[in-house]
Amino acid sequence: GAEMGANERGVCIGNEAVWGREEVCDEEALLGMDLVRLGLERADTAEKALNVIVDLLEKYGQGGNCSEGRMVFSYHNSFLIADRKEAWILETAGKYWAAEKVQEGIRNISNQLSITTNIDREHPDMRNYAKRKGWWDGKKEFDFAAAYSYLDTAKMMISPGRYCEGYKLLNKHKGNITFETMMDILRDKPSGINMEGEFLTTASMVSILPQDSSLPCIHFFTGTPDPERSIFKPFIFVPNIPQLLDTSSPTFGHEDPVKKKPRFQFKPDRRHPLYQKHQQALEVIDKKEEKAKTLLDNMKKLEKDLFKEMESILQNKHLDVDKIVNLFPQCAKDEIRIYKSNISP
C-alpha cells in the first residue's frame, strides 16, 4: 500500500511502475513510493505536488530496488495526482518527464506510458534527448509514449493490458461514476486490475474529493490485499487522530534491514495486525465454504453500513468530529473482530 496516499489538504497521489527505452538505474536513488510520500508531505495542491516530484527527480534521480530481499526489481514511475479542483498525469523515464493536465472525462494510468501528444508540461531537454537517441526524428509531432517506450501508441487502446481494460471499465460508467463504481473496478479480476499471484494487489484506495470545500474529502483504504475480499474503510482528516495501531507496520530498530549495510539482505515480516488477521481469515475462506459465506457476508454488511454513514455526512454536511477522530481505527477493530470470530476452529 505504499504506492498511494492522501494528505490533509485533499491532495491524492497514486503511482504505477513503468518501463521503456531509458535504462532503469539499480543504484539507490528515490523510489516512486518515496516521491509519492514527499509530494504529499510538501504540497497543498496537485500541481504543487507535481512540482515537488519533478524537482526531486532532477536533483536526486529515481532508481534502486523496489523489493526487499535479494531479488532486484527496479522501474520508472507514472503518477496520478489529484485535488478538489484539478488532476495531473505525470510520467517519467529516468530524469525525463511529461505531464498532462486532465481537462475532462476519465483518465487512468497503469504499467505503461500513456501520455502521447497532449503534453502540458515537460522536462526542458526531453525532446532533444529523444532526438539525440534517435527515438524521434524532430519532424513529426512529438509523442512521449511513442518516443520513450517500446509501444506502438496506436495499438495502446486495443491491447489487452491493464491500461486498456481499466479505460474500458471507466468508459462504461462515464458520467455516472460513484465511489462504489471505483471500488468495483478495483475489484475486477478478469481485467487484471485486481492482480493475483506473485504481484498481488496489496492494498487499494478510493477518494471522494468534493469541489464544495465545506464538505470533507473522504478516503477509503483497504489496508489489506485483494480488494474483492477486503473492506474499504473510510478515513477523514480531523485534528487529534490517534496513532493507527492496527494498521501500523512493526518497526525493527537497528535490526531493520533498511538500516543495515548492505541493505535489504533479508525480508522482514512487515505485516500490521489487521493484515495478519486478514490473511488468517482468507485461509479459512479457502478451506471452509460455509464459514467463508458467513465471513464475506459480515464483511459486506460492515462495508455497506460505512458507505451509508459517509453518504449521510456528504448529504447533511454534518461532521461529528469527536466520532470521526476514531472512525478509521474503529473500522479496523470491527474488521479484526469479524476475522477473529471466523478464525477460531
Contact 226, 201 (CB under 8 A): yes
What is residue 265's predicted lDDT score, i.e. its pLDDT? 77
What is residue 344's predicted lDDT score, i.e. its pLDDT? 67
251: left (phi over 0), alpha (psi -120 to 50) or beta: beta
How far, in Å, CA of 154 to CA of 158, rounded? 8
What is residue 155's predicted lDDT score, i.e. its pLDDT? 63
Q: Give the cell for residue 336.
A: 479484526
Going residue by residue through the chain, which has 345 residues, state the pLDDT in tens, using 9 for 90 and above.
Answer: 589 999 999 999 999 999 899 998 878 899 999 999 999 999 999 999 999 999 999 999 999 888 887 778 889 999 999 999 999 999 999 999 999 999 999 999 998 999 999 999 999 999 999 999 999 999 999 999 999 998 666 665 556 789 999 999 999 999 999 999 999 999 999 999 999 888 889 899 999 999 999 999 999 999 999 999 999 999 999 999 999 999 999 988 888 888 888 777 778 899 999 999 999 998 887 888 888 889 999 999 999 999 999 999 999 988 999 999 999 999 999 999 999 988 765
From the list 82, 150, 88, the residue with the least C-alpha distance to 113 is 150
From the list 139, 140, 151, the residue with the least C-alpha distance to 115 is 151
What is residue 254's predicted lDDT score, i.e. its pLDDT? 86
Sequence spans of domains, the chain: 4-177, 197-344
What is residue 158's predicted lDDT score, i.e. its pLDDT? 59
What is residue 102's predicted lDDT score, i.e. its pLDDT? 97
Note the pTM of the prediction, 2 decimals.
0.94
How far, in Å, CA of 22 to CA of 19, rounded? 8
What is residue 268's predicted lDDT score, i.e. its pLDDT? 87
